[in-house]
A and B are shown apart, each in its own frame.
Chain A
Amino acid sequence: MCARNTIDKSDLFWRRGARQTGLILVVALVPALLAAWLHSRRPGWSRDQAAIPELEWKSVQQSPGPVLLVDARSAAAYESDHIPGALWLGASPGDDGMIAVARAWQPGTRLVVYCDSPRCDGAQAAARRLRRELDLDDVVVLKGGWSAWIEARRQGR
């Protein structure tokens, strides 16, 4: 319905627009609140709880700057084999690989953390630890972890 035969049609027009915009703003709140409560991929409210972004090996290779790989598996798994150039961190707070990572890191370097497979969550925890303790922003997780890298190597990528 439009304003007709009124002194200030433009004013009514914009008031009607503001009312409709307000309605949309309120309606959108409902699913947003439900998502904040129930969504499996809801963001954390503090930086420490935030999910670390995951990148495919191909995207890691295409990173614009230098990359430092960080192995978040067990020490035995790392000793047995690891991605060339990767440093071992370990997933528990007692591991002292953090100092080695801090020494190897240079400004502009992206840290790529990996654990065993898509099902492990050690890389996410280690990446959050690196962000928190070294105050770094550019920390990502290798999607699929060690098993994805093995598969990429098998396919010659």
Chain B
Amino acid sequence: MDRSAQTGQVMGLAGRIMLAAVFVYAGTAKALDPAAFADAIDGYRLLPHAAGAALALYLPWLEIFGGLGVIWSRTRLGALALLFLLCLVFGIAVASAWIRNLEIACGCFGGGAIGAAALRGSLLRDAALALLAGALLWVEEGKCVSPADPTASR
């Protein structure tokens, strides 16, 4: 294996660990207090309360298992696709709150600062995570469709 391939592998591993750590941490923080997360979802004024409550119970675990799935090679592809989609959904929700000037906390890590500046920060962080997940997904696809390296995904 040449040096550039080795560097690529190390960067891919670092990216996956970073993505997994952020999502497992965010999911755990919310799973510990789903009532507070349901309140945070209510603050966005996008869903009826019952739908927000169901999401507050389910979403943290989706983040935790998605984060862990990125580490395991047999679920990596699906986990990356899931986290990428979650980032898109979170981004749309936070952007809509920012546009509507809602004085709310993002709730991304189970709470956080309130206001437009905090929402802008959350949006930037979300965009960075979406880019990372998208890039890792693209790398995974490259591994699988390249006939030159049949062992790439093992």
Q: Which residues of B contact A32 (CB under 8 A)?
A: 57-58, 61
A18-35 CB contacts (< 8 Å) to partner B: 18-25, 27-29, 31-33, 35
Taken residue by residue from 102 to 139, chain B's Cβ proximity to chain A (1 for < 8 Å, 0 otherwise) reads as 01000000000011000000000000000000000000
Q: A17, A42, A50: which contacts B77 (Cβ < 8 A)?
A: A17
Q: Which residues of A contact B58 (CB under 8 A)?
A: 28-29, 32
How many residue pairs, one in A and one in B, have C-beta atoms under 8 Å apart?
A: 119
Chain A residue with the shortest CB-CB distance to B39: A53
* Complex-state Cα separation, A25 to B75, whole angstroms: 12
* Complex-state Cα separation, A125 to B42, whole angstroms: 19
* Complex-state Cα separation, A83 to B35, whole angstroms: 28
Given A13-B145, A20-B77, A53-B36 in contact, is the A2-B152 Cβ separation under 8 Å?
A: yes
CB distance from B35 to the nearest CB of A (A): 4
The 3 closest A-B pairs by CB, nearest first: A20-B78, A43-B38, A2-B144
- Residues of chain A touching chain B, judged by Cβ–Cβ distance below 8 Å, are 1-5, 9-10, 13, 16-25, 27-29, 31-33, 35-36, 39, 41-47, 50-53, 64-65
- 28 A-B residue pairings within 8 Å (CB atoms): A1-B154, A5-B147, A9-B144, A13-B144, A13-B145, A16-B77, A17-B78, A20-B74, A20-B75, A20-B79, A24-B78, A28-B61, A32-B58, A35-B34, A36-B54, A36-B57, A39-B57, A41-B32, A42-B57, A43-B57, A44-B35, A44-B53, A45-B49, A45-B53, A47-B49, A51-B35, A53-B39, A64-B115
